[in-house]
Structure formats: structure tokens, C-alpha cells
Amino acid sequence: MNGRKPYRPDLSALQPEFRRIERRLMLRGALSLGALSLLGGCGELDSDDAVDCVLRDMLSFNDRVQAWLFSRNRLARIFPASAITKPFPFNAYYPPSEIRTVDPAQWRLELSGLIENKKPWSLRDLRALPQQSQITRHICVEGWSAIGSWSGVPLSLFLKRVGADLRAKYVEVKCFDDYFTSIDMETALHPQTILALDYADETLPPEYGAPMKIRMPTKLGYKNPKYVSAIGVTNTYPGGYWENQGYDWFGGS
């Protein structure tokens, strides 16, 4: 050996595809094609199409079960300040060198859909509303977790303030780094779901989603969008960046 460390390529960007392949192989090994065709109304499909069909049915079933178990009255655990993970990790579908930023003074939160007052909101507007703080655990689908300190405007308060239709099914979120996701209205109205503007009592830094992220301790990490630029309320299923690639839509933690 020459004393050099062996080169290990960064395969983090390929992890979602690896997990998708693992799911497909596991299902193919567990079920015969004949059994697959009997599940979920998949009909007369070839092997690959049948696997995809069953995976979609399983994900849909999982979403329904999670939604049934979810309750606005059940709170995520709150931790003491001594438990905060330092440093809180950066996580995205791209490396830190590609973080995108905007001028906070020029940033506006755009509103769309089933909302009465669609006037864009500035950071100053949002900071004028009541704020809430929480020290909660962020749980990543990749298997790690971290505890952070967040504060911002309760999303339920904001939706009521702008006249959102709280009977609608979905709240969709778009981000200026091209990420997007959507959540059920029950999660949007959960008392711990906030429009996070600060981290650790300081203005939210770029690596954590500045100028605003949506913090939902009842959801897995990929459901907690950073760099938020727009919020909409709709009854039409909006999907999401990872959800459209096979992740659970409900994404409860």
C-alpha cells in the first residue's frame, strides 16, 4: 500500500434509484408473476409492469393507513436545548456548493389556488405575525436523524389569515431550487407545522432553507421543503419531487 486512502466515489445522488431497485427486487423475489396479477387490479401485465403496479398499490395503501392514524392532537416530541445536534446537517438532492440564495428583501411568498387573499407576503409581513418555537427531531428517510431548534409562523394561523379553504385536500409547496412537494390539509393545520424563519434564535441560514422552510416534525425530512417560494391550496393531487419517483406521499415520521 502507498499510504493513500482508497478512492470512494460519492454515490449519494444515486441512493433513491438504488432504493427503488431494492424494492423491485425484493417484491419480485417474494411474489410470482401470477400472484402479482391478482393484486391491486393489475390485470394481464408483464413482470416489470406488474411489479410497478403492485408497488403503486402498496404505497397508496400505506398512505391511507398513515392518514387514518394521523391526529392533529398528537404532538411530536419536544427536546431540551441540550439535545440539539451540532452542527445540524445539511441535506438536499445536491451538494452544499450548489445552494441557491435570494435577496431576503426582494423575496416574496406567492399564493395560489383556493385562497381568498393572494397578496404576496414579504419576510417583514411574516415576522409581524405570532411566532412559535420548537426543538424537534428531523428524521431522514435515509436512516439518520438530528434535533434542531426552529421558530416561525404556525402554518394553520397563516392559512386562516389569508382565507384558505381549510376543507381542501392538499397544500402544495414550490421552492426556488426547483424542489416541490405537497401535504394533506390535516398536516398543514397541525399545531407544530410552521413556516420556519429562524434557526437557533438566528435568521435561518442558507444551508437550512433561507429565507423560509416549512418545518413539520410529524413528517419525514423530504416532506419538509426548504427555499420555499410559493404555497397553493388545491383539491387536485399535486405530487412532489421524490413522491413522483416512488416515495410515500404521506411521509409520516
pLDDT tens for each residue of 221-231: 999 999 999 99
Q: Are the beta carbons of 181 and 243 closer than 8 angstroms? A: yes
Q: What is the pLDDT of residues 146-169, one digit of tens each?
A: 999 999 999 999 999 999 999 999
138 and 58 in a common domain:
no
DSSP string, 193-219: -EEEEEETTEEPPGGGTTT-EEE-TTB
Structural domain total, the chain: 2
Domain that holds residue 64: 13-69
Residue 198 resides in a domain: yes
60 and 158 in a common domain:
no
Q: What is the pLDDT of residues 83-122, one digit of tens each?
A: 999 999 999 989 999 999 999 999 999 999 999 999 999 9
132 and 19 in a common domain:
no
Give me 168's grid cell.
381542501
Q: Is the pLDDT of residue 24 over 80?
A: no
Mean pLDDT of 40-67: 54
110 and 63 in a common domain:
no
Most distant pair of Cα atoms in the chain: their distance: 68
Quick check: bond before 104 cis, omega within 30? no
112 and 29 in a common domain:
no
131 and 156 in a common domain:
yes
Cα Rg, the chain, nearest whole Å: 20
Cα 217 to Cα 86: distance, rounded to the nearest angstrom: 18
State the pLDDT at residue 73: 78
